[in-house]
Amino acid sequence: MGDPFDLAAGWLEEHVLVPLLYQFGLMNWEDVAYGWALFALYGVAQVALTFAVCLPLERWRPVERWPNGDAVWVDVLYTLLSRVGVLPFVTYVLFYRAQVAVTGWMADQGWVPPTLEGLFPALLGQQVLTFVLYAIILDFADYWRHRLSHRFRWWWALHALHHAQRQMTFWSDDRNHVLDDLIAFVWFSVIALLIGVPPMQFPLLVLVLRFLESLSHANVRLSFGWLGERLLISPRFHRAHHGILAAGQRSCNYGAVLPWWDMLFGTADFGRAYVRTGDPSGEEALATGTWAQQQMAGLRRLARSFGGRVRQEM
C-alpha cells in the first residue's frame, strides 16, 4: 500500500481538481494540482493535530474563561481558510511557479540557483539537518517581518487585526488581514528562493512552523521552564507580546518559534505574567466582527494610517 496522503491526494486530483480545471478552462494548472491536493491534506492533518494537542491543554489550565466564545469562531474560520484552502495553494502553487521562473531565468544567464547545499557541501544528503536549518533561517526572517509590522504605521494598521482578539486561543494564530498575509507570503518566498528551499519542502516548513505558532497562542498557563523558554517560545512567553501594554511598556517577544532573536536583539521579556490580550486602540469590529467586517475595518485603519511613516514600536 502507498502513503495514505499520496493516495488521497491522487484521488482528489483525479476526481475533483482536474474536472474543475477542465470545466473552467484552467488545464494549464494541471501540473500543480496534485501538489496542492497533497498539501491541503497535510493542512487538514495539521489542524486535527493542533486541535488534539491544544484543546486539552486549554481545558486543563486556561488563562481565562469567557461566558461565550463567539469571537473565537471567527478565528476558526481564519484557520480553516489558511491551513486547508489558501495556504496550501499559495505556498505550493505560487511558490512553485515563482521558483520555476527564477531558476529558469538564472539558467538562461548561466548562473547556478543558490542552495544551502551549494554553499555548504557538507549538507549534501543531510535532509533532516538541512530542513532544520531552513526552518531556523525562515524563523529569523519572520522575527524581522513581525517586528517591522509593529514599526510602520501603515503595516501596523493591518497587523493590528491579529492583536485585536481579547479571547486569544490556539485558533488565533491565523487571524490576519489578507494584505498582511500577502506581505508575509512575499517575504517568506523571497527568503526561501534566496536559500533554495525546494518547492515540496516549502509548504511543509510553513506547516511545521505554524503548528508551533498555534501552540504559542494557546489559552493555557504553560511555561517551558527557565531553559526551555530560551530554546522554544511557549504560550506564556508569546502571550506577553499580545498583552495590553501598561504605561511606559513597549512591545516585546516578536519571535514566532525561537526566542533567540528576541534575546539577541534586546526585545525579550521573560518576566511578564499571563496578561490580558487585545488592542484597545482599534475599532470594536476588529475584535468581535465577522471575517468580512474585520477585513473592512483593517482597510479603514490602513486608509487612516497614511500621514505618518513610522510609529513607535508597540
Per-residue model confidence as pLDDT tens digits over 65-79: 998 888 899 999 999
Selected residue with higher pLDDT from 282 and 158 = 158
For 248-272, write each residue's pLDDT tens digit. 678 899 999 999 999 999 999 998 8
Residue 229 has pLDDT above 80, yes or no: yes
Identify which has the larger pLDDT, 314 or 5: 5
How far apart, in Å, are the Cα atoms of 138 and each of 41, 207, 255, 286? 23, 12, 11, 28
Please, which contacts does 42-48 make with residues 24 or more away whose CB atoms are closer than 8 Å? 42/5, 42/88, 42/203, 42/204, 42/207, 43/83, 43/84, 43/87, 43/88, 43/207, 44/83, 44/84, 45/5, 46/83, 46/207, 46/210, 46/211, 47/79, 47/80, 47/83, 47/84
Q: Using CA atoms, how far apart are residues 223 and 103, in angstroms rounded to an integer?
A: 43
Q: What is the pLDDT of residue 314?
A: 46
- Mean pLDDT to the nearest integer, 197-224: 84
pLDDT averaged over the chain?
85
Q: Is pLDDT of 215 > 80?
A: yes
Rounded-to-integer distance, Cα 176 and Cα 215, Å = 17
Q: What pLDDT, on the 0 to 100 scale, is given for residue 240? A: 94
**Is residue 196 pLDDT above 70, yes or no?**
yes
- When comparing pLDDT for 306 and 230, which is higher? 230
Residue 123 has what pLDDT? 79
Highest mean pLDDT among 32-46, 95-109, 173-187: 173-187
Q: How many CB atoms lie within 10 A of CB 35?
A: 21
Residues 6+ apart with CB under 8 A from 28: none
Tell me: pLDDT of 311 over 70: no
Is pLDDT above 50 for 242? yes
Query: What confidence score (pLDDT) does residue 7 get?
Result: 83
Q: Write down the residue that cell numbers 525562515 correspond to.
A: 138
- Cα separation, 124 vs 147, in Å, equals 33
| Strands in 13-124 per DSSP E | none
297, 161 Cβ separation under 8 angstroms? yes
Q: What percent of the chain has pLDDT over 70?
A: 90
Short-list 14, 33, 21, 31, CA closest to 89: 33
Task: Output the pTM of the full model.
Answer: 0.85
